[in-house]
Structure 1
Amino acid sequence: MEFGTIEREIHIEASPEIVFEVVSSPGHLKEWWPDDARFEEIPGAAGELVFGDPGAGGAVVSFTVLDVRPPRTFSFRWTHPAGETAAEGNSLLVTFDLTPSGAGTLLKMTESGFREMGWEAAVLEQQYRDHVAGWDFHLSRLAPYIATLRVRP
């Protein structure tokens, strides 16, 4: 098995503008992915994602916005050490590419940079598998969450 890049594609019954807002804004992210998200939606902005309760074994993960091109692309680097600038070799790159598809949107999520992290083989495999499981779980929550936005008054 290759532990280099994770790619997922899902079709969402919503416009690219709506999907873009949901994958790029902290307020929406925390409804389907982390427990909390703190960052500005501008290239170069640094922030953090919070998973669980940091005081009880949860994690605070560094997050840096790279590209913001509504309603087509949102990308960021994450998992870099706090206080360091996110770059290839110390962080993973996540890109959401959105394409109109019928009455909805085709979302392609790509996460790369695992091999460039310099992890030993066992750590690389475990991190990759953890991220595959995480994306499979969290991305499955995206379309149902977006569906709730359309039914609100």
Structure 2
Amino acid sequence: MDQELGTIEREIFVEAAPEVVFEVVSDPEHVREWWPDEARYDVAPGATGEIVFGDPGAGGGVASFTVVEVERPRTFSFRWTHPAGEEARRGNSLLVTFELVPTDGGTLLRMTETGFREMGWEAAVLEQQYREHGAGWDHFLPRIAPYVARLATRS
């Protein structure tokens, strides 16, 4: 774990071409199968939307979401967690980047999440948010490869 609490980095290998993995990490129809319960946004730079975890009326959460970069099939990045109605920028949101590298008959998927230190949180909140996000990615990212495998059996 990054002791500076500034960047979360994870890597997973997915047995699929980068084109397939790109769709799975960028298209809301696929994203909701491994990450949030609902995802609403267009896959285009500058597009805004939201992702929903659980039932917002029963303690779940809604996070604002802004697509930053779409470079098929290599890079997909977005900012999230900014206040609703505010434009996502450094200092009010976290930046997640998925980098896809063709490797050994599949794809090495590198995920980085940055911007924790720029949020201006007090130390305890910074540490809590960093740990929660790290645990979240540790839970959700491993769901990608099995989901891709299920997609492959459908086609």
- Looking at structure 2, the residues matched to 152 and 41 of structure 1 have their Cα atoms a distance apart, in angstroms, of 24
Q: CA–CA distance in 1 between the matches of 2:131 and 2:4?
A: 11
Query: What SS is found at the alignment partner of 2:42?
Result: coil
1:39-68 Cα shifts (integer Å, max 9, x gaps): 000000000000000000001100000000
Is 1:8 the counterpart of 2:22? The answer is no
Normalised TM-score (structure 1) = 0.99
- Residue identity over aligned pairs, in percent, reads 71
Name the counterpart of 1:147.
149
CA distance in 2 between partners of 1:90 and 1:40 (Å)? 21
Which whole-Å deviations, capped at 9, do the CAs of 1:126-152 have from their partners, x for residues lacking one?
000000000000001010111100011
1:47 maps to 2:64:
no
Structure 2 stretches of 5 or more lacking a match?
none
Aligned twin of 2:92: 90
CA distance in 2, matches of 1:68, 1:140: 22
Find the aligned partners of 1:69 and 1:140 in 2 and give their Cα distance.
23
Deviation per CA, 1:9-38, whole angstroms, max 9, x where unpaired? Answer: 111100000000000000000000000000
Tell me by how many angstroms 1:102 deviates: 1.2
Secondary structure of residue in 2 paired with 1:129: helix
TM-score when normalising by structure 2: 0.98
Q: 2:69 aligns with which of 44, 67, 70?
A: 67
- Runs (4+) of structure 1 exceeding 3 A deviation are none
- Corresponding letter in the other structure for 1:64: T
- 1:108 match: 110
Provide the rounded CA distance (Å) in 2 between the counterparts of 1:152 and 1:39: 25
Q: CA shift at 1:86, angstroms?
A: 0.1
- Unaligned stretches of 5+ residues in structure 1: none
Q: Which amino acid is the alignment partner of residue 73 of structure 1?
A: T
Aligned equivalents of 1:30, 1:11: Cα separation in 2: 20
CA RMSD of superposed structures (Å): 0.5
Separation of aligned partners in 1, 2:138 and 2:147: 15
Q: 2:26 aligns with which of 24, 30, 46?
A: 24
